Structure 1
Amino acid sequence: MTGRVLIVAGSDSGGGAGIQADIKAVTALGGYAATAVTALTAQNTRGVFGVHPVPIDFIVEQIALVLGDIGADTLKTGMMGTAAVIEAVAEALSRYGDGIPLVVDPVMVAKGGHPLLDASAQGALRDLLVPRAAVLTPNVPEAEALSGRAIGSVTDMEAAGKALLDLGPEAVLMKGGHLPGATVTDLLVTADAVRRFDAPRIETTATHGTGCTLASAIACGLAQGMALEDTVARARAYVRRAMETAPGFGQGHGPMNHAHTVAPFKG
């Protein structure tokens, strides 16, 4: 087990996304996952039916205790919910996790359409977490909201990625799954280059937790000392295989097979 990742995000009772997906992904890739839970959700593959926020001082206490004892090689943020949570988490990460690379997954809306970030909190996300990110991982709607740009093509994705890079992150992984077409294109945008990743689209309903999983897989690779392009390539391959071998659970946007890298224990 190599690479410690502290994940600050919400819980998914259905197990397919949120910290459940984060823990599974990091573990399946050989890392160690710790968590600071920001919210509890009542959800399944058909949607989010309730959100119960965790008290802010308790979120901060989780972060402080984990980093003060176990430590972390990489940090990862997911569902924040409100501006107040973002402000507290940003301050806590600066106080207790200064210098530790941060992967920011700007979670705004659940797969079924339920909002997971107050509209008023987008500015706090843009101003407080995005600038300190080693990697920012927005999908198309998230990138549009953060950049203020409409995205209808890969060319638009690149322009929005460069605009987001100007906000301060070291790298932006623009995820193109929301764009139409038989090929899904992601762009890794840095100050030095734009690296393009293409793959045939998988026609499946097993898409719950893809964003959480990809960001945590990237965080795990960084924690293990992998180069950025290599960790993005491994993370994309891991998510793709998890979709291809999904168990078929649920009646909506189903979970992936996070454990496809793990051999069953025979006893």
Structure 2
Amino acid sequence: MAENNDMIYALTIAGFDGSAGAGFISDIKTMAHFGVYGQAVCTALTEQNEDEFVAPGWVIWERIEAQLETLFRKHTFKYVKIGLVEKAKILKRIVEFVREKSPDAFIVWDPIASASAGFHFMRDAAEFLPVMKMIDLVTPNADEYKFLGLEAAHEKGIIQMGKDCAVLLKGGHAEGAESVDKLIVDGTEYNFASPRLPGDGKHGTGCVLSSAILANVALGKPLPEACKIAKDYMNQYLQSGEGRLGFVR
């Protein structure tokens, strides 16, 4: 059967979060807001709510691969977002699979070093760096940027930020009156600023932002414009009602 040519498809490869505030449920909601149809592969059956993280519930590679195979039999995904992964080896296998099936796919990786409730991931941080050369955009916050050693890796020539892959350094965990996201792509730096909002913030902001970027790239927006639109959307999301769950109508 032929694909619906009017539908723009994107794929999220991420964890399940029963609260729907993060993970692939949140990704699909965000994509749908922008008119992109998201499909999903599950990497972790987490036990969590918006305030508490209990266990990651990792899905083994063979099950991830089986999910990928099934979806790629129907669609050739040109826009792919990767979220929570157990280790660098799994990320590498996912990226290699996507590149084999869809060589020109635009791939975004949102590196999750820890859950907002405090659970820590990515203990093999340095092993992720070589994989990033196969990825189009990486979206770390300040803690993840430091944890992955991106600045030192750039200085040592291990990875050329903006050339090997674009990097969006998120400003939500930094200090100052403004939250400034810094995009480095093709030798150019772009800054996207918004007022820093009071309070503890929302659950799953990294998932929402990276999915909003991917959706707008899928809609044909240049990467800097997609990041700006996503930043504006995030500002709405952060102000969407009380509590740690956000929803933009």
**Shorter-chain TM-score above 0.5:** yes
Which runs of no fewer than 5 residues in structure 2 stay unpaired?
A: 1-5
Correspondence for 1:124: 127
Give 1:56 shift: 1.1
Give 1:229 shift: 1.4
Cα offsets for 1:98-139 (capped at 9, x unmatched)? 21110111111111211133x12x2332212x1122211110
Q: Structure 1 CA distance, aligned partners of 2:53 and 2:163? A: 31
Matched, 1:165 2:191: no
Whether contact under 8 Å (2:163, 2:187) holds in the other structure is no
Matches within 5 A, 1:108-187: 108-117=113-122, 119-120=123-124, 122-128=125-131, 130-147=132-149, 149=151, 165=161, 168-169=164-165, 171-187=166-182
The residue type paired with residue 204 of structure 1 is G
The residue type paired with residue 233 of structure 1 is K
3-state SS of the aligned residue for 1:165? coil
Matched, 1:14 2:9: no
Give the alignment's Cα RMSD to 1 decimal.
Answer: 2.3
Poorly superposed stretches of 4+, deviation over 3 Å: none
Which runs of no fewer than 5 residues in structure 1 stay unpaired?
A: 151-157, 261-267
Higher relative contact order (CA 8 A, sep 6+): 1
Aligned-residue sequence identity (percent) comes to 27
Matched, 1:3 2:5: no
Q: Structure 2 CA distance, aligned partners of 1:87 and 1:231? A: 25
Whether contact under 8 Å (1:146, 1:164) holds in the other structure is no
Q: TM-score, normalised by structure 2?
A: 0.89
Correspondence for 1:255: 245
- Number of equivalenced pairs: 242
Give 1:148 shift: 5.3
Q: Structure 2 CA distance, aligned partners of 1:238 and 1:36? A: 25
Q: TM-score, normalised by structure 1?
A: 0.83
| Equivalent in 196, 202, 206 of residue 211 of structure 1 | 206
Give 1:173 shift: 0.8
Pair 188,83 (structure 1): closer, same or farther in 2 beyond 3 Å: closer
Pair 83,133 (structure 1): closer, same or farther in 2 beyond 3 Å: closer
Whether contact under 8 Å (1:3, 1:73) holds in the other structure is no
